[in-house]
């Protein structure tokens, strides 16, 4: 493909792994508020947005749909715990190729953004430990929509705001490690790049319809020399 105008990255499993810090922060939040150390992995799937995770976990551990106030409180408490959980995580690491790739892309004039199910604050808390947050002046977040396609469209719209023109989505790469990232990319009209750095292998990402599949971010992105 020709040179992309913008490149959007998922976070967890694509740029970094927090070593379970996200789940830890949810567990602490539910434990403090309701006396239940909730395990989000028992009720949610990789790639879901934070509001979905909060709502489904609440329903299963507390026993009823959260009110607006209850959901807001548990999400706020989770964000309050997240910096500590990230800082203390022994399994936190930047994934292969990321620390070399991002500065090179920035220096070469690619517009870099995020597309993540995490709310905006959570996304930057997770990236801050590795000093990666500054590469991403915009994005689409779980705080924009519970629908991955819609938040990806929002990220593309914001890229266009920065460039002061509407972008052709076919000139945007969406880089992620799950089938949900691939589906969202296609739903937004963008190019889906699957990276087998998370829970899914190259064959699974290819079967999910990725336009390109990489083993890691040490491999060349399409349209990037």
> By C-alpha distance, which of 171, 219, 170 is closest to 194?
219
Paired tokens of 180: 């949900």
pTM of the model: 0.94
Q: What is the pLDDT of residue 41?
A: 84
- Asked whether the beta carbons of 21 and 136 are under 8 A apart, the reply is no
Q: What is the pLDDT of residue 23?
A: 92
Architecture in CATH for domain 21-88: Orthogonal Bundle (1.10)
Query: What does 4-64 look like in DSSP terms, one character per residue?
Result: PSEEEE--BTTTEE-SSHHHHHHHHHHHHHHS----GGGT--TT--HHHHHHHHHHHHHSS
Distance of alpha carbon 151 from alpha carbon 158, whole angstroms = 10
* Residue intervals in the chain for CATH 1.10.150: 21-88
* Residue intervals in the chain for CATH 3.40.50.1000: 6-18+92-214
Distance of alpha carbon 98 from alpha carbon 218, whole angstroms = 7
Q: What is the pLDDT of residue 42?
A: 85
DSSP 89: -
CATH 3.40.50.20 is held by the domain 6-18+92-214: no
Paired tokens of 156: 């593309």
Q: What is the pLDDT of residue 225?
A: 75
Ramachandran assignment for 155, one of left (phi > 0), alpha (psi -120 to 50 degrees), beta (any other): alpha
Distance of alpha carbon 59 from alpha carbon 154, whole angstroms = 28
> By C-alpha distance, which of 118, 116, 121, 101 is closest to 54?
118
- Asked whether the beta carbons of 150 and 144 are under 8 A apart, the reply is yes
225 residues of the chain, pLDDT tens digit each = 799 999 999 999 999 999 999 999 999 999 999 999 898 888 877 778 899 999 999 999 999 999 999 999 999 999 999 999 999 999 999 999 999 999 999 999 999 999 999 999 999 999 999 999 999 999 999 999 989 999 999 999 999 999 999 999 999 999 999 999 999 999 999 999 999 998 899 999 999 999 999 999 999 999 997
Q: What is the pLDDT of residue 96?
A: 97
DSSP 106: H
């Amino acid at each position: 493909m020709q040179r992309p105008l913008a490149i959007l990255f998922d976070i967890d499993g694509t740029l970094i792994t927090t070593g379970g810090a996200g789940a830890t922060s949810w567990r602490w939040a539910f434990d403090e508020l309701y006396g239940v150390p909730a395990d989000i992995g028992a009720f949610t799937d990789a790639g879901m947005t934070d509001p979905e995770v909060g709502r489904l976990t609440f329903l299963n551990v507390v026993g009823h749909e959260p009110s607006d106030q209850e959901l807001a409180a548990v999400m706020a408490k989770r964000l309050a715990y997240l910096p500590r959980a990230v800082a203390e995580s022994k399994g936190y690491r930047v994934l292969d190729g990321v620390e070399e790739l991002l500065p090179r892309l920035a220096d070469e004039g690619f517009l870099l953004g995020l597309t993540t199910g995490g709310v905006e604050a959570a996304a930057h808390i997770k990236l801050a430990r590795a000093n990666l947050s500054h590469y991403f002046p915009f994005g689409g977040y779980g705080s924009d929509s519970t629908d991955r396609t819609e938040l990806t469209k929002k990220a593309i719209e914001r890229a266009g705001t920065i460039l002061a023109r509407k972008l052709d989505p076919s000139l945007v790469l969406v880089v992620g490690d799950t089938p949900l990232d691939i589906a969202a990319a296609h739903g937004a009209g963008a190019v889906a790049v699957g990276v087998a750095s998370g829970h899914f292998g190259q064959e699974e990402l290819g079967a999910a319809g990725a336009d390109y599949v990489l083993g890691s971010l040490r491999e060349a992105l399409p349209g990037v020399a």
